[in-house]
Amino acid sequence: MCSHGHSHNCASEHIPEGSGDDVHRYDMVSYIDLDKVTTLNESIDGAGKKVFKVMENRDDRTEFVESDCDHELLFNIPFTGHVRITGLSIIGDEDGSHPAKIRLFKDREAMAFDDCSIEADQEIDLKQDPRGLVDYPLKASKFGNIHHLSILVSANFGEDETKVYYIGLRGEFQHEFRQRVAIATYESRAQLKDHKNEIPDSVTRSLF
């Protein structure tokens, strides 16, 4: 087994099963900076980023990531701006290689396994879900405004290696809206000197 140097002793919260097939939309893949996604302990370099597919392709079994020397996988997921993540879906196989527990960390770039000994922002017990029908809601207080998400698969259902076909994230992209607000605020507070050439001389003399 790999020596990752951290403990697996952590209490996970139980999430009830839901029907995520049509109710929830996992559309945040378009806001993931896929070129910068890294997956630690993947058996094939670059395979981890391929599980972040558009929702319509989540049943595609040709692309997946499998862990290398033990059951753990660590996904580092940067976004192209600030986002609010409200839930996720994970698809694995129908055997013991399906992820059983995940730990989530926000805004900790380039996490390594040694860093995962800290308290997670959320821990989730997963169900075996080869069709992606279970939705796992995330804590609004923790993931309401983030730019990076790390997902540690800390346990599976008994196999030596873990296999993941799909990770879907649902939520909202926030950065663009906030940028427009900032620009509008700046313009509303524009200094007179910024528009001096646009103001008639008579008005300028009366102001000074």
- CATH number of the domain that 30 lies in? 2.60.120.470
pLDDT band at 194 (very low <50, low <70, confident <90, very high): low
Domain that residue 84 falls in: 13-173
Shared domain check, 112 and 19: yes
Work out the mean pLDDT of the chain and round it to a whole number.
Answer: 84
Query: 74-129 pLDDT, tens per residue?
Result: 999 999 999 999 999 999 999 999 999 999 999 999 999 999 999 999 999 999 99
Q: Mean pLDDT over residues 24-52, rounded?
A: 97
**pLDDT tens digits for range 123-156:** 999 999 999 999 999 999 999 999 999 999 999 9
CA separation for the pair 147, 107 (Å, rounded): 6
User: Could you report the per-residue pLDDT of 153-182, keeping only the tens digit for each?
Assistant: 999 999 999 999 999 999 999 965 455 455
Within a domain: residue 152? yes
| Full-model pTM | 0.77
Q: Verify that 165 and 184 share a domain, yes or no.
A: no
Q: How many domains are contained in the chain? A: 2
Give the pLDDT confidence score for residue 87 in this predicted structure. 98
Residues 155 and 204 grouped into a single domain: no
CA distance 178 to 114: 35
Instruction: Mark whether 195 and 122 lie in a shared domain.
Output: no
Q: State how far the alpha carbon of 49 is from the alpha carbons of 26, 43, 66, 111, 191, in Å.
A: 16, 13, 12, 16, 47
Is pLDDT above 50 for 52? yes
pLDDT at 191 (0 to 100): 55
178 plus 110 within the same structural domain: no
